């Protein structure tokens, strides 16, 4: 009788162990999905891009500024203009967003009353919550006419407009991560500086910001990654001219905007179609590298904190 009981118990234990293992396996499958999706994106983009290079010379693709796939004489597939446009708009955005974002972050961490901070942080979150298509729309109706008026242009849909909008969109990222890293600077650093007679301003500029620099750099790079990959705002606000960009008042077409404009009209399985996926692949690789670099900087910084 007691033998039977032990037997039943052992059996139960075994069954529950099997069940536990099955549950763990189930969660593991879900956990590994992220890796599968990331590799899937890369793999499928690569797979769909390759046929483009049966007709296009890779050197021409990356090095030529002329993009004219529908030309009846000779189709041209150079993405250099778009790549330069993307970086022009992105760098313009960073020039605006980094000082302002760092300023707000410093104000929140070092100057503002904690109550102000509690109010401002969710407000900045709201800014992050505005869909990009709405930001693009406001670029058309607010910043476009304003830029045209101030600089005496016929219209305001140009690289500067795109930069302003991307700056606004990357501000929440830059503010929140910079603020976190400024707040994470050990209190002792600030106290030592103040104890030596430095003002709070000197402490902020010469001690806290340098100490938080890697976090701030990571914040800027993450903001940059977002700006490079942003589609709707630049598509709507930069004018989309295909020429090589020569200045911030020029109408430009970024990589993302070009995909968005042409993918809807291109016939499937043509060189043009594959070339658009190749642009997507280039975009994926660039943002991947920027995000990886930001990640490495951020990890290093967090390790040092611990």
Partner 1 sequence: MKRKIVQFLGFMLLRVCLYLVLAVLLLFLFDIIRKGGGVMSWEFLTQAPRRGMTEGGVFPAIVGTFLVTMITAVLAVPMGMFAAIYLNEYARQTRLTRLIRLAIRNLSGVPSIVYGLFGVILFVNIFAFGTSVLSAGLTLGLLTLPWTITASEEALKTVPDSYREGALALGATKWQSIRTNVLPYAVPGMLTGTVLGLARAAGETAPIMFTGAAFFLPVLPRSLGDQFMALPYHLYIMATQHHNILKVRPLAYGTALVLIALVLGMNMAAVVIRYRLRRKRRM
By CB under 8 A, what part of segment 148-187 binds partner 1?
168, 171, 175
Check residue 37 for interaction with partner 1 (CB under 8 A): yes
Out of 1, 6, 141, 188, the residue judged to bind partner 1 by CB under 8 A: 141
H or E segment to which residue 77 belongs: strand 76-77
- 98 touches partner 1 (CB under 8 A): no
CB under 8 A: which stretch of 1-9, 63-71, 136-144, 187-195 binds partner 1? Answer: 136-144
- CA–CA separation, 183 and 177 (whole Å): 10
Kindly tell me which of 99 and 247 has the beta carbon lying closer to partner 1. Answer: 99
Pick from 136, 162, 215, 245 the residue near partner 1 by CB under 8 A: 136
Q: Which two tokens stand for residue 287?
A: 């943002």
CB under 8 Å to 16, separation ≥6 — which residues? Answer: none
Q: Is 11 in the site for partner 1 (CB under 8 A)?
A: no
Q: Residue 89 is encoded by which pair of tokens? A: 């708009």
Q: Is 288 in the site for partner 1 (CB under 8 A)?
A: yes
The CA–CA distances, whole Å, from 135 to 142, 229, 291 equal: 10, 15, 23
CA nearest neighbour of 135 among 236, 12, 209, 30: 236
Q: Smallest Cα–Cα separation from 117: which of 103, 128, 107, 129?
A: 107
Which of 10, 134, 192, 196 touches partner 1 by CB under 8 A? 134
**Interatomic CA distance for residues 298 and 221, integer angstroms:** 10
Written as six digits, the tokens of 278 are: 């190749």
Given 132, 176, 181, 193, the residue binding partner 1 (CB under 8 A): 132
Point out which span in 76-84, 94-102, 148-156, 187-195 binds partner 1 (CB under 8 A).
Answer: 94-102
Stretch that binds partner 1, among 56-64, 187-195, 224-232, 245-253 (CB under 8 A): 224-232
Among 88, 216, 290, 297, binds partner 1 (CB under 8 A): 290
| CB 16, min distance to partner 1, A | 6
């Amino acid at each position: 009788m007691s033998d039977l009981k032990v037997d039943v118990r052992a059996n139960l234990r075994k069954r529950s162990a099997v069940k536990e293992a099955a549950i763990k396996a189930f969660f593991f499958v879900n956990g590994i999905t992220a890796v599968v999706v990331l590799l899937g994106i890369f793999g499928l983009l690569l797979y769909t891009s390759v046929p483009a290079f049966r007709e296009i010379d890779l050197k021409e693709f990356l090095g030529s500024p002329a993009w004219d796939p529908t030309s009846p004489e000779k189709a041209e597939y150079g993405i250099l203009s778009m790549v330069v446009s993307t970086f022009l708009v992105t760098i313009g955005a960073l020039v605006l967003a980094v000082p302002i974002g760092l300023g707000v972050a410093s104000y929140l961490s070092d100057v503002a009353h904690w109550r102000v901070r509690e109010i401002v942080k969710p407000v900045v979150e709201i800014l992050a919550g505005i869909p990009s298509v709405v930001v693009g729309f406001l670029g058309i109706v607010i910043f476009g006419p304003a830029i045209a008026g101030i600089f005496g242009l016929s219209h305001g849909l140009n690289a500067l407009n795109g930069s302003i909008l991307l700056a606004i969109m990357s501000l929440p990222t830059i503010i929140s991560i910079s603020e976190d890293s400024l707040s994470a600077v050990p209190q002792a650093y600030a106290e030592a500086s103040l104890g030596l007679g430095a003002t709070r301003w000197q402490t902020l500029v010469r001690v806290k910001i340098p100490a938080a620099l890697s976090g701030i750099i990571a914040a800027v790079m993450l903001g940059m990654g977002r700006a490079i990959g942003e589609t709707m705002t630049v598509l709507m606000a930069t004018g989309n001219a295909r020429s090589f960009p020569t200045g911030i008042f020029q109408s430009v077409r970024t990589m993302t905007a070009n995909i968005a404009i042409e993918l809807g009209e291109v016939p499937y399985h043509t060189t043009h179609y594959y070339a658009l996926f190749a642009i997507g692949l280039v975009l994926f690789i660039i943002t991947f590298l920027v995000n990886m670099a930001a990640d490495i900087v951020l990890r290093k910084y967090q390790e040092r904190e611990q």
